[in-house]
Amino acid sequence: MPAATVWSAWKKLPLALPPDVLAETLDGGQSFRWIKNTDGAWIGIWGDCVARLSQTDRGMLRWSAPIEITARVERGLKSYLSLESDHAAQIETLPWRSDAHLATCLKTFPGLRILRQPFGETLLGFMCSATKQIVQIKQMVALLAERHGEELVPGFRQLPTWAKLASVSDATLRECKLGFRARHISETARYLAANPGWLEKTEAIPYAVAKERLCTLPGVGEKVADCVLLFGAGRMEAFPVDVWILKVMARRYGLADWKPAQVAHFGRTHFGPLAGLAQQYLFAYERRAAKPFVI
DNA sequence: AGGCAGGTGGCCA
DNA sequence: TGGCCACCTGCC
């Protein structure tokens, strides 16, 4: 039994959000490693960081981390939440003046932002996501960390690296509830092991070529590639098209029967260089609209 | 209790 | 290119 984690004191972040927007940001399908604690705080793990996140009564964010890694987490959070970028200015550049539906989505989730996650683990998370709901993806990812990840601080494990995954058999991976995704992950891991620097280079090159490269990996198509580039590399022009976005574009933009690639092209031209940011608002709004009422 | 899920790849016309 | 279908499995 490991000693209980000693958490640092709470420290404020220069960011205020409505609680439901924070929930949508952390647990709305961008990341799969945030859980809500019984005391209402969020606990998340990414890269070599673990943090607790909560809010003051005015919505101001505050964080705390295991005492031995606070300095690292402070830097990590700044990058993870893109605290240095001017979010309001980015929203201003979206075409909400001429797009009433977008305006509604922006108003419904004020402050919703795109996370900047580690590239490799974003790839892993979204390779798990094919035809799965968020709860189930979170389960797969939790099992991968628990069984194959390194311990970061007592009680918290990182996601396994791709190098580590290359040494795990397909059959063992399947035991993490991955189903047919296990084979894709296995094959990708072996490919990456045989091609050192491949991921790092993919993260660094321009959007279009990076996407092309990602799509050569087994189990990675346009949708997953766009998610990885948007949430794991800050490529805001990436416009992931899934079943939800297909529905939005059909119902609200009159693009019924358009194919995913056509919708993606429309999205990038209509919403501009920050199309991915717009996409996240459309996605959040549509998900909430579909959610059945609970009494 | 069974259908269905933030897709992808392969095979056919 | 366009349309189908198998691929795994555990939640709601």
- Tell me which residues from 212 to 271 on chain A have a beta carbon below 7 angstroms from nucleic acid strand B: 215, 217-225, 227, 240, 242-245
**Residue A293, pLDDT score:** 57
Task: Name the pTM for this structure.
Answer: 0.97
Q: How far apart are CA A220 and CA A92, in angstroms?
A: 32
**Residue A294, pLDDT score:** 47
Instruction: Please tell me which residue lies nearest to nucleotide C8, judged from CA to C1'.
Output: A179
Tell me, in Å, how far CA of A259 is from C1' of C1? 12
Q: Is the CB of A180 under 7 A from strand C?
A: yes
From the first residue on, what is the mean pLDDT of each consecutive set of 10 residues in chain A (295 residues)? 84 97 97 96 98 97 98 98 97 98 98 98 98 97 98 97 96 96 97 97 98 97 98 98 95 94 96 98 94 56
Burial A219-228 (b: 16+ CB within 10 A, else e): bbebbbbbbb
**Residue A295, pLDDT score:** 41
**Residue A208, pLDDT score:** 96
Instruction: Please tell me which residue lies nearest to nucleotide B7, judged from CA to C1'.
Output: A130
Nearest to A113 by CA among A6, A31, A202: A31
Domains and CATH numbers, chain A: 86-111+236-290 (1.10.1670.10), 119-233 (1.10.340.30)
In chain A, the DSSP E strands lie at 11-16, 34-36, 42-46, 49-55, 60-64, 151-153, 156-157
Rg of chain A taking only CA atoms, in angstroms: 19
Instruction: Please tell me which residue lies nearest to nucleotide C9, judged from CA to C1'.
Output: A179
Q: Is the CB of A131 under 7 A from strand C?
A: yes
Q: Is the CB of A122 under 7 A from strand B?
A: no
